[in-house]
Amino acid sequence: MSDATNLASKMDVDEAAIDEGLYSRQLYVLGHEAMRKMATSNVLIVGLQGLGAEIAKNVCLAGVKSVTLYDPEPVSLQDLSTQYFLREEDIGKPRAAAMLPRISELNAYVPVRNLGGKAGQEITADLIQPFQVVVLCNASYKKQLEINDWTHQHGVHFIAAETKGLFGSVFNDFGPKFTCVDPTGEQPLTGMIVSVDKDEEGLVTCLDEARHGLEDGDFVTFTEVQGMEELNGCKPRKVSVKGPYTFTIGDTSSFGDYIRGGIFNQVKMPSILEFKSLRESLQAPDFFITDFAKFERPATLHVGFQALSEYREKHGRLPRPRNAEDAKQFVALAKKLDNDADEKTLEELAYQAMGDISPIAAVIGGFVAQEALKACSSKFHPMIQHLYFDSLESLPSVLPTEDDCRPIGSRYDGQIAVFGKSFQDKIANHRQFLVGAGAIGCEMLKNWSMMGLATGPHATIHVTDLDTIEKSNLNRQFLFRAKDLGKFKSEVAAAAVADMNPELKGHILCKQEPVGQATENVFDDGFFSSLDGVTNALDNVTARVYMDQRCVLYEKPLLESGTMGTKGNVQVVIPHLTESYSSSQDPPEKQALSCTVKNFPNAITHTIEWSRQEFDALFVKPVESVNQYLSEPNYLENSLKYSGQQHDHVEQIVSYLVTNKPLTFEECIVWARLQFEEKFNNAIRQLLHSLPKDHLTSTGQPFWSGPKRAPEPLIFNSADPTHLSFIIAGANLHAFNYGLRGETDPVIFKKVADSVIVPEFSPKSGMKIQINENDPVNQNSTDPDDISELIKKLPPPSSLAGYRLTPVEFEKDDDTNHHIDFITAASNLRAMNYNIPIADRHTTKQIAGKIIPAIATTTALVVGLVCLELYKIIDGKNKLEEYKNGFVNLALPFFGFSEPIAAAKKKFGDTEWTLWDRLEFKDDPTLKEFVAWFKSNHNLDVSMISQGVSMLWSSFTDRKKSAERLPMKFSKLVEHVSKKPIPPHVKHLLVEVMLMDEEGEDVEVPFVLVRI
């Protein structure tokens, strides 16, 4: 008891500020409030085989107050099947103590402790008192009930989880009254309204630019309503949805008459959830369905897992792998609990009970860790209350025998118990190409090392990633440590997993080349022919589409996955069976109209977009123009020929190179102060001069209404921190352009900015303002003489030989470079102009930097699902229904699985084909032979042939050219037309062909490949 109390007092050190550099991507998932709550939570994890290790890893990375481990049992060889914090030399040591040094390195902010204990000593209720969350892994039901009875009574959150082979189970009990603050984690909805009825219903109609997105039972409050002012800042009102643009809010009959304007804001209301204890739940379970195709299975597994516990108690061991006698006894035990339970499923559970495989530990471990974080933070909706998961489809088509599944004294015995030794050999000889070694890549390599992938004598894993390690990676890319900052991801990740499983040493080849056309000499025909499959671990669509095209070309299976916050997806692409990644695409993101961003912002996203454009217009583009003027002969003549705004362009170069070129940092401060005046005062005064506040539209409506907010000019005030931060960031970035040393002391900036004499500004009349997207952009028509006068002011480039300015390269994750500071200040000043609520630096950084929110739990789970599909690829499964595409959202939580979509079938003549088929020409045919082949084999006429950007031949090519080109070999023809030699690594050409049938109709055929 005293030990536990002692430990509790040690835990009283609270971490103050949240390290935004480390937790940046996770903060965009959880928010500061949830992370502050997590930082006061102590978590205990009991049972530290693969599942416990996975949960502990994810919880440590997330940043709770402390993690405590309990498992005094000795490390066995089989633990190495999934426990990547243990090594062979740890065998015989207590599990918790052996893994402690390695897991402690994950997060400097999270102390990890070992609760001690002796082998054979199970956890007891008196040891769990100092903790807010207790997680039991692979504990007997007797122990689960004993501990849960205590936690349910004493307000401690309880989770029990188990994995057995391809099966997993989770139980949650967060107490009789658990408050869930934000069930979905989605951004609160907001929108503009155009009317509110004054009656008992209170029908609200929204602006028809966008659907409101609300659901029945949501709550909203209002701001900026004119007339019915009682709604502004009102208590949250419950919504009843009437249509995509309308909803009711209840009685408004006693309020004032609605005139115009107003914004609704959704309010997230906390909900109270009631959990049953395990004792109660075993009798009346609430099942969380993970796969609707297996709707009946949870009830069977509910009794199956209980029966396993009973079997173990009775026999002192679990049923042996594929042993019919043990399985029979086990099924009889389960049938006593529920006679309707499915016998086949129970039999499989008995066969796999001793199995321990890494992908299942990853799926269940990722899920449980997120549930533990929900318990700590009240953020997101917990799972109610029993989850049962299986991936029986991952078993080999030819099931292993009992003999094949016997332990062989290998680190893979946990996997051999499920798949058999002969399948283990297949895994060891499988060759994969991993594209990307970031968050998904790290998790993938961890699972592959535990599975023993490519450990065979001739097998290799290829990994490529051009990135180096940054601080924000450490929060979820768990193979990296602070000492690795600046090193290549692929190399550090490969070394880390070869340390986890020494059999991988020499079997991982690292590259730093990005995938794309420029590196096809590295990733060439020979490279792809040495692979059995490709796994994407990428963070952008362009590279995904490119790899997808390569996999179609080389007929290789592709495993594709991605995450965003708590959401994740998995797609399997199998040659000649499924569609490819590129077959379907997400709709494009909705872009704000340029006139909205330029003149009529109504949301903070518009002002952030504007400030991001200003960043380029002040510190990047003009500087690049100056450098081009200084380095490219005839730059001005050439650019003036094509540029629509010649005068502005030349004026900019004159300004940056002559009239406003600073020699001291003080001059940079003056420049920034004048920029403030220009952007936030003069430009606004000009806009209000052209479109006064009382301006009416052609139909007599007030112009400044609805989404158009009338702005106010800002008067500079150096005591206002936002005003001053614009000057500080702007002056430092301007100084960076000129190689001048910066400054951060606010006193200097205040003093200089306040002494600047600002020129008087008078708005111009007759200025055209772009009101709609289709209006012409205001272009100054200028006299050519004006331009030549300007050009005379420019020094000849030869007089500044070697002189260059330095453009700013936008980098969001360096907090000292003033980039995000400038964008935040500029965006918020513009928001003040238009009376839009401002955003903090953290929010601005996400929107301006297009940061994808990310958390380790989702990544771990998604990669586990990918590896469950990898088993099927290794087995060579060839039926669509054997594979599963998956989508998860851990916040709700939600799992959805579906069969991949079949490759669409097309036809030309009598030939049926899909995207996987191709027409292949060997031995570098002549153009004449190529054209003749289509005529003689398919009675099709070739009307055009092109390769890359070169048009090789068409039916309207003149006779002389035709006579010259038709006898040429294809490779010679391509070199002749493109005027470039074919690189030596290119062994085939992808050719575009337009074909017509006898009726003159276009005919679509598979892609055409010419081997040269």
Active site amino acids: 595
Q: How far is CA 403 from CA 348, 419, 426, 703, in A?
A: 16, 11, 17, 82
Helix, coil or strand: residue 333: helix
Q: Which two tokens stand for residue 216?
A: 């029945």
Cβ(365)–Cβ(58) under 8 Å?
Answer: yes
Q: Which two tokens stand for residue 695?
A: 């301006």
Q: Which of 757, 759, 739 is nearest to 662 (CA)?
A: 739
- Within 10 Å of residue 496's Cβ, how many Cβ atoms? 19
Question: What is the DSSP track for 383-442?
Answer: P-SEEEEE-GGGS-SSPPPTTTTS--SSTTHHHHHHH-HHHHHHHHT--EEEE--SHHHH
Question: What is the DSSP track for 132-175?
Answer: SEEEEES--HHHHHHHHHHHHHHT-EEEEEEEETTEEEEEEE--
Question: What is the DSSP track for 662-718?
Answer: -SSHHHHHHHHHHHHHIIIIIHHHHHHHHS-TT-B-TTS-BSS-TT-PPP-PPPP-T
Helix, coil or strand: residue 267: strand
Helical residues (DSSP H) of 705-800, grouped into ranges: 721-737, 746-755, 784-793
Vertex 716: Cα angle to 712 and 720 (nearest 5): 100
Output phi, psi for 633, to 5 deg: -65, 145
User: What is the rounded distance in angstroms from the CA atom of residue 972 to the CA atom of residue 766?
Assistant: 61
Q: What is the DSSP letter of 565?
A: B
User: What is the rounded distance in angstroms from the CA atom of residue 963 to the CA atom of residue 285?
Assistant: 81
Helical residues (DSSP H) of 818-920, grouped into ranges: 819-833, 841-848, 856-875
CA dihedral sign of residues 962, 967, 971, 975 = negative
Cβ(504)–Cβ(449) under 8 Å?
Answer: yes
Helical residues (DSSP H) of 183-323, grouped into ranges: 278-283, 297-315
Characterise 454 by phi-psi region: left (phi > 0), alpha (psi -120 to 50), beta (else).
Answer: left
- Within 10 Å of residue 731's Cβ, how many Cβ atoms? 30
Q: Which two tokens stand for residue 915?
A: 């995207």
Q: How far is CA 617 from CA 467, 612, 739, in A?
A: 28, 9, 18
**Which residue's entry shows tokens 């609704």?**
264
Cβ(142)–Cβ(54) under 8 Å?
Answer: no
Q: Which of 165, 149, 121, 151 is nearest to 44 (CA)?
A: 151
- Within 10 Å of residue 101's Cβ, how many Cβ atoms? 10
Q: What is the DSSP letter of 901?
A: P
Vertex 251: Cα angle to 250 and 254 (nearest 5): 155
Instruction: Give the DSSP H or E segment for 346.
Output: helix 343-352
Q: Which amino acid is at 278?
A: L
Helix, coil or strand: residue 609: helix
Helix, coil or strand: residue 854: strand
Q: Which two tokens stand for residue 611?
A: 């400030």
